[in-house]
């Protein structure tokens, strides 16, 4: 007989600097499959600013990237016990952001960037989170296919959407683009679409435009 049990769990995240709680904006950046937050956040180093706090949560599932030794990467979920992983992610991210935001007397603007697998995780979480998302960036990934549309439509009603795609990204298919387009219609939203020369990766020139 298989059962489940909830217990206090320790998870990791990386931030651009110790918060002064006077920042005017926060960016929550979600890494992709097999990455670690401490390395992912380095891509944003040129845009560190005392007035901008960047928060990189780390997926709570870990595994060796090759065989049974060497580099380790994190992921947000697999097909095994998927619903449990989603619920755990929501509790983790809700608690993390509550612990940070409770020290602000004036709530900063909150932006979210999800890369690859992190894009689906970001939309699934942000689409039911209580706080307003100013700007949602989906990079080399898209909305979770199981997004709760009625709730997400309300949460994202005033959110700016940006989609970033590399023209050589082999992981983006025409079928996936069409599915994302249908989801956007159901959300009654449009998005700015940015293309760049490159593959499944973050591009510094595009990041610069986003953070200007």
Q: What is the pLDDT of residue 21?
A: 97
Task: Report whether pLDDT(74) > 90.
Answer: yes
Domains, the chain, in order of start with CATH, read 13-211 (3.40.50.1820)
What's the pLDDT band for 212 if we cut at 50, 70, 90?
confident
Cβ contacts of residue 112 below 8 Å, gap of 6+? Answer: 27, 28, 29, 30, 122, 126, 133, 135, 136, 137
- Model confidence pLDDT, tens digit, residues 32-72: 999 999 999 999 999 999 999 999 999 999 999 988 889 99
Q: What is the pLDDT of residue 83?
A: 95
Q: What is the pLDDT of residue 29?
A: 98
Token pair of 161 as six digits:
């959407």
- Alpha carbons 138 and 163: distance in angstroms, whole number: 5
- Alpha carbons 53 and 109: distance in angstroms, whole number: 10
Q: In Å, what is the CA distance from 197 to each residue of 8, 121, 168, 194?
A: 44, 25, 7, 10
What is the pLDDT averaged over residues 19-30? Answer: 98
What's the pLDDT band for 2 if we cut at 50, 70, 90?
very high
Q: What is the pLDDT of residue 140?
A: 97
What's the pLDDT band for 144 if we cut at 50, 70, 90?
very high
Q: What is the pLDDT of residue 195?
A: 97
What is the pTM assigned to this prediction? 0.96
- Model confidence pLDDT, tens digit, residues 76-105: 999 999 999 999 999 999 999 999 999 999
Task: Report whether pLDDT(134) > 90.
Answer: yes
Measured torsion, CA atoms of residues 151, 103, 15, 84, in degrees rounded to the nearest 10: -40
- DSSP, collapsed to helix, strand or coil, labels residue 54 as strand
Q: What is the pLDDT of residue 67?
A: 87
- When the pLDDT of each residue in the chain is averaged and rounded to a whole number, the result is 96
List residues bridging with 160 in a β-sheet: 135
What's the pLDDT band for 174 if we cut at 50, 70, 90?
very high
Task: Report whether pLDDT(115) > 90.
Answer: yes
Task: Report whether pLDDT(186) > 90.
Answer: yes
């Amino acid at each position: 007989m298989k059962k489940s049990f909830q217990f206090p769990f320790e998870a990791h995240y990386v931030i651009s600097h110790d918060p002064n709680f006077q920042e005017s904006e926060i960016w929550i950046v979600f890494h992709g499959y097999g990455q670690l937050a401490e390395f992912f956040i380095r891509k944003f180093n040129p845009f560190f600013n005392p007035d901008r706090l960047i928060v990189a949560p780390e997926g709570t599932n870990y595994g060796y990237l090759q065989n049974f030794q060497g580099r380790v990467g994190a992921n947000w979920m697999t097909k095994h016990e998927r619903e449990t992983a989603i619920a755990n992610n929501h509790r983790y991210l809700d608690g993390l952001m509550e612990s940070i935001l409770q020290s602000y007397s004036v709530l900063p603007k909150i932006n979210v960037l999800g890369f690859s697998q992190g894009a689906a995780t970001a939309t699934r979480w942000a689409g039911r989170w209580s706080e307003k998302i100013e700007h949602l960036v989906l990079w080399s990934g898209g909305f979770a296919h199981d997004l709760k549309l009625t709730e997400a439509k309300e949460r994202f009603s005033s959110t700016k959407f940006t989609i970033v795609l590399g023209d050589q990204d082999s992981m983006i298919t025409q079928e996936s683009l069409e599915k994302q387009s249908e989801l956007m219609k159901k959300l009654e939203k449009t998005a700015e679409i940015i293309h760049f020369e490159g593959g499944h990766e973050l591009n510094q020139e595009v990041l610069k435009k986003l953070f200007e």
